[in-house]
């Protein structure tokens, strides 16, 4: 005689099972954690001139785009609040004595809106412009490339390789300190850089490239 489980037993059994979408959730969390770690490596490594090239740099740069969105939203909200306080403030506050304060809030609001636009442009728009090239990034031949170093106000340095391509267009890419020092100590007539031009990200460098001219 077959035993038919009761509805209560079947319901209890199903309640003890993990939902079918949980593997996707675990994978999404792992991807988010890895992306966050690489973003932090990209940010922290900037001061030491490491993690500015390759896969870590690409993932880190697009991870920064997420922070750019959050920052732009915060700046825009604060900016709109300042402008709104100037235009739509309470009637009791609209006397001559409060005009300097309200004008200050309005000017701060305009500044914050401009800052939000700048953060969006640098942090989000430029990476989006490079997005179509991400799976098949171009390789640019730089003729007579030079290595440069820019020292920030807080002492950190940013390292670049720049030069002109065969069409005379100047390109500048941010690189690791080791790459900058290699080119500085051993100048070359031509190198090939595979990277993303808008964000100046380098995926790989062909040190043995030969000019096709």
Q: HSE (CB half, 13 Å, CA atoms) of 111?
A: 6
Sign of CA dihedral 66, 69, 71, 77: negative
Q: What confidence score (pLDDT) does residue 193 get?
A: 93
Encode pLDDT of 126-155 as tens digits. 888 888 888 899 999 999 999 998 876 665
Alpha-carbon distance of 74 to 113, in angstroms, equals 10
pTM above 0.75, yes or no: no
Task: Give the residue with greater pLDDT, 102 vs 174.
Answer: 174
* % the chain with pLDDT above 70: 75
- Residue 184 pLDDT level (bands cut at 50, 70, 90): very high
Residue 4 carries which DSSP code?
P
Encode pLDDT of 27-61 as tens digits. 777 877 777 777 777 677 777 778 888 888 888 88
User: In the predicted model, is pLDDT for residue 183 greater than 90?
Assistant: yes
User: In the predicted model, is pLDDT for residue 156 greater than 90?
Assistant: no
- Type and span of the H or E element at 9: helix 7-15
Question: Beta-carbon neighbour count of residue 119 at 10 Å?
Answer: 21
Q: Which tokens go with 13?
A: 């059994």
Task: Give the residue with greater pLDDT, 96 vs 170.
Answer: 170
Q: What confidence score (pLDDT) does residue 92 get?
A: 45
| Spatial contact of 137 and 203, defined as CB atoms under 8 Å apart | yes
Three-state SS letters, 42-87: HHHHHHHCCCCEHHHHHHHHHHHHHHHHHHHHHHHHHHHHHHHHHH
Cα angle 195, 198, 204 (rounded to 5 degrees) comes to 10
User: In the predicted model, is pLDDT for residue 9 greater than 70?
Assistant: no
User: In the predicted model, is pLDDT for residue 167 greater than 80?
Assistant: yes
Query: Given the DSSP bridges, would you call strands 201-206 and 157-164 parallel, antiparallel or unpaired?
Result: unpaired
- Type and span of the H or E element at 168: none
């Amino acid at each position: 005689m077959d035993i038919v489980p009761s509805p209560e037993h079947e319901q209890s059994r199903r309640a003890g099972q993990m939902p079918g979408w949980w593997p996707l959730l675990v994978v999404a969390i792992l991807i988010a954690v890895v992306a966050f770690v690489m973003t932090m490596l990209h940010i922290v490594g900037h001061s030491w001139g490491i993690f500015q090239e390759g896969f870590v740099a690409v993932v880190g740069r697009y991870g920064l785009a997420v922070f750019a969105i959050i920052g732009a939203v915060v700046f825009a909200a604060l900016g709109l609040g300042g402008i709104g306080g100037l235009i739509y403030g309470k009637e009791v506050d609209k006397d001559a004595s409060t005009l300097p304060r309200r004008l200050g809030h309005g000017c701060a609001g305009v500044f914050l809106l401009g800052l939000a636009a700048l953060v969006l442009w640098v942090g989000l728009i430029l990476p989006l412009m490079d997005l179509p090239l991400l799976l098949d990034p171009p390789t640019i031949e730089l003729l007579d490339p030079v290595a440069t170093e820019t020292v920030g106000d807080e002492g950190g340095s940013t390292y670049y390789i720049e030069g002109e391509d065969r069409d005379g267009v100047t390109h500048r890419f941010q690189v690791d300190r080791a790459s900058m020092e290699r080119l500085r100590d051993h100048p070359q007539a031509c190198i090939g850089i595979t990277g993303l031009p808008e964000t100046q990200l380098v995926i790989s460098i062909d040190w043995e490239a030969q000019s096709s001219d």
